[in-house]
Structure 1
Amino acid sequence: MSEYQVAFIGTGPEPETPVWGQSAAMAYRHAEGYDRQPACRLTACADIVAENARAFAERNGIDDGSVFTEYERMLEATSPDVVSVCTPVPTHADIVVACAEHEEGPSAIHCEKPMAVTMADSRRMTAACDREGVQLTFNHQRRVSAPSRRLVSLAAGGAVGDVERIELTTKNLFDSGTHFIDLCNAVLEDRPAEWVLGAIDYRVENVRYGVHNDNEAFVRWRYEGGVDAVAAMGDDADFIDCDLRVLGTDGAVELNPPGDTQLRCKRGETEPWEEIHTGEPFSDIPAAIDDVIEGLETGAEPELSARRALAAMEIILAGYESSRRRGRVDLPLEIDDNPLVALVESGELTPQPQSQDRE
């Protein structure tokens, strides 16, 4: 196995008190995954706030001389093999493209999700890394967690018959929804979606990691082969009493159902629910880092590849585009922007400022 020097762009503040939606200090969580890899050595970091970078370096054994406030200088001085990008979403595209095109750029870039603000930037990142031969992955860590892998194996293995519909519920379509839509794609072995129909509500400002997010959304999309997916989004969404449900001709499997179990599976209309607990977390960032390194070692496409992340982003932004058009959107998606952001910037949507007591 090769040895990989790992660098971080965007360390964030100390991780013990994350402010979800503003700063989650994800670099610290990525670092835990690299620490688990014998082949990885944490060698450099950059953050525009110098004290944040120094604190991260001290926590992770990085030399003082490898701490920077400008990531371009970090690349020139340290030539890392792997870079984790943990900055706010609007900065992802420019940083990823600059890293990929840098003369001393890395072999792999692992970027936080969502990919970027717009469809154009999401495509631009993917194209730049493809062109430069850089492995690009996104931190959809739920796809590679043990509970999710078990869900996918049950569905793909015919435990519930032929999959007919997938249902999900989560906080919003863009920031949280990217995890679960990516997981829907995984259940169906990444078959393409054909069309998307969506409606959104955005009356109270909800900016997460620098990007506008819907307050509520209801989205339906159809995959090739006729399988439907339906998603209800919102802080108080109770569309289903689990995170994600796969319905088949002979039963159902649910992720995070009521109670203390992680999964439950019903293998026939008259059969009882079988409870399944993997003993591993729902959100497994070390498993995501394992996927990054395995891709470098084997040359195989990582589970968290840019191609797969782009498919999730297309469904998300098609949901917003459907609301803007007031009609169904056929895929592939031809727009370049983010329709929700565009509607706010044009004044067609005017969300009210958040109250101080709203999370």
Structure 2
Amino acid sequence: MDSHTHDVALIGTGSDPDDPDFSGFAMAYHHAEVYQRLENCELVACADIVPENAAAFAETFDIDEGHTYEDYQRLLTEAEPDVVSICVPPAIHADIVVDCARAGSVDAIHCEKPMDLTWGGAQRMAQICWRRDVQLTFNHQRRFKPSWAEARDLVDSGKIGDVERVELAPPNIYDWGTHAIDFVGFVTGDRPAEWVIGQIDYREEQQWFGAHNENQAFGLWEYDDGVQAVISTGVGGSFVPALFRFVGTEGTLDVDPDGESETIRWRQYGDDWEYRAIEEGEWTEPIGDAIEHVVDCLETGAEPELSARKALNTTEIIFGIWESARRRGRVDCPLEIDDNPLHAMVESGALVPEPEPEPESSSE
């Protein structure tokens, strides 16, 4: 595609970015700030089911009032954007992505993570975008986090030999874990899993953006090249002395060891640890880097780092762990389910988490 100005629309503006909540953290504002500074992008429209939110967003980013919508389908028909950023809860990702892909004008869709509330929905939106030649990406922006990117480069350079195993300990599998499992794929070659086995505990209700997340989980999977990964999440501590540990044929590399954020350490067997801390002046803004990359790939035709193909690898592992817990056995890939196993277990009564406590009301 030749370089030109891309008309950009945002669906799901969210509420006041100075007072974010679990309805979206006003991620659209972060997206829009990046598009606004790119010379080849122009913000032309926005939509939110709360008209006041859309109006406030439009005022902030100087979007014409006539292109401010409550109904995103009217936006697609009337504004005819080239690029759409979707910043809504995951339960409606698939429906909106499919509608955008069918709109005719849309060349690229950049959607917040996780992919979708169900495995079937994740596959459906990836398939239609592939069929219609629409670039579909998901905001696993931490691939562009400086410490994570440098860790990948160190592994690629052979500092620890060939990776054989990865150990990781994020807070949960779905909301935060989609970044963590995606990063493992980023470092190990973005390959699909062959099988997954896992177990979860879900005794106290925990929802993020309308989606259930387990309290604690343990899982193991193997990629199609034989590399294995093991994950532990939630309460009860972790067997991993870092957020990530990459174990290779010649050494070990840790990311954020023992709570030291933005730090990498590595050593070959028999040697002392070498450390690399990302300094404040080296920090970049991952969401900005991610969106700039997405727009560049739209123009060059290269597969983005955040492509739907790579996100599907991550999402299959997430739902595979939950499906293994539901089935009480190992699950082979590709998954033969369409639903969300954790939600299904809650809805069937197989899991009965205690309700989340009501938030305390503030007094004037």
**Common fold by TM > 0.5:** yes
Q: Is the 8 A contact 1:171 1:237 kept in 2?
A: no
Task: State the partner residue of 1:65.
Answer: 66
Give the C-alpha shift of residue 261 in structure 1. Answer: 4.3
Matched, 1:349 2:351: yes
C-alpha separation in 2, matches of 1:261 and 1:87: 29
Q: Is the 8 A contact 1:266 1:274 kept in 2?
A: no
CA 1:308/1:255 → structure 2, altered by over 3 Å: closer, same or farther? same
Partner SS for 2:242: coil
Task: State the partner residue of 1:219.
Answer: 219
TM-score by length of 2: 0.93
Partner SS for 2:88: coil
Q: How far does the alpha carbon of each residue in 1:91-131 deviate from its partner, in whole angstroms, 9 at most, with x for none?
A: 1010000111124x310000001111111110100111111
Give the C-alpha shift of residue 23 in structure 1. Answer: 2.5
Task: State the partner residue of 2:315.
Answer: 313
Structure 1 residues 153-302: aligned runs within 5 Å: 153-234=153-234, 237-257=237-257, 258-259=259-260, 261-277=262-278, 279-281=281-283, 284-302=286-304
Range with bigger deviation, 83-92 or 243-252: 243-252
Structure 1 residues 26-175: aligned runs within 5 Å: 26-103=27-104, 105-175=105-175
Range with bigger deviation, 5-14 or 184-193: 184-193
Matched, 1:327 2:329: yes
Q: CA RMSD, aligned part only?
A: 1.8
C-alpha separation in 2, matches of 1:213 and 1:282: 30
C-alpha separation in 2, matches of 1:240 and 1:53: 43
Q: Is the 8 A contact 1:147 1:280 kept in 2?
A: no
Q: Where does structure 2 lack aligned partners over 5 or more consecutive residues?
A: none
**In the alignment, residue 184 of structure 2 is paired with which amino acid?**
C
Range with bigger deviation, 347-356 or 307-316: 347-356
**In the alignment, residue 204 of structure 1 is paired with which amino acid?**
E
CA 1:133/1:14 → structure 2, altered by over 3 Å: closer, same or farther? same
Give the C-alpha shift of residue 192 in structure 1. Answer: 2.3
**In the alignment, residue 323 of structure 2 is paired with which amino acid?**
E
C-alpha separation in 2, matches of 1:303 and 1:287: 11
Give the C-alpha shift of residue 241 in structure 1. Answer: 3.4
**In the alignment, residue 127 of structure 1 is paired with which amino acid?**
Q
Count of equivalent residues: 356
C-alpha separation in 2, matches of 1:210 and 1:280: 35
C-alpha separation in 1, matches of 2:64 and 2:139: 26
Q: Is the 8 A contact 1:170 1:235 kept in 2?
A: no
Partner SS for 2:169: strand
Q: Is the 8 A contact 1:145 1:280 kept in 2?
A: no
Q: Is the 8 A contact 2:263 2:275 kept in 1?
A: no
C-alpha separation in 2, matches of 1:199 and 1:28: 37
TM-score by length of 1: 0.94
Partner SS for 1:302: coil
Partner SS for 2:294: helix
Q: Is the 8 A contact 2:191 2:313 kept in 1?
A: no
Give the C-alpha shift of residue 236 in structure 1. Answer: 5.9
Consecutive aligned runs of 4 or more in structure 1 exceeding 3 Å deviation: 235-239, 258-261, 278-283
Range with bigger deviation, 187-196 or 90-99: 187-196
C-alpha separation in 2, matches of 1:235 and 1:70: 41
Q: Is the 8 A contact 1:106 1:134 kept in 2?
A: yes
Partner SS for 2:167: strand
